[in-house]
């Protein structure tokens, strides 16, 4: 994946390529992610999850579906846990 090389061990990072990497990544995820209700918890997919062999990024809804499922489960679990905690506290008074 030569298209993803951002430097060499001998010369270190190529800061121009690093900037381009993050600029391209942000442009790809901004359209979908920054208007999403889960943005504060998720912050978008890992760059390598959406990286293409040609050096571009291609967004996939797969990440969104997985994150939404996991976050909804976490909220449900937390809600049940807090309800149980209240029951325990009320029972001990």
Per-residue pLDDT reduced to its tens digit, 58-87: 998 899 999 999 999 999 999 999 999 988
Q: Is the pLDDT of residue 47 over 90?
A: yes
pLDDT at 80: 94
31: closest CA among 40, 18, 44, 41? Answer: 44
Residue 12: strand pairing partners: 8
Model confidence at 15, pLDDT cuts 50, 70, 90, reads very high
């Amino acid at each position: 994946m030569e298209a993803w090389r951002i430097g060499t061990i001998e010369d270190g990072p190529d800061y121009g390529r690093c900037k381009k990497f993050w600029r391209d990544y942000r442009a790809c995820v901004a359209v979908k992610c920054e208007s999403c209700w889960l943005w504060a918890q998720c912050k978008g997919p890992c760059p390598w999850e959406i990286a293409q062999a040609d050096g571009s990024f291609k967004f996939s809804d797969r990440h969104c579906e997985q994150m939404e499922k996991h976050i909804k489960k976490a909220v449900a679990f937390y809600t049940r846990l807090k309800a149980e905690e209240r029951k325990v506290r009320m029972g001990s008074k």
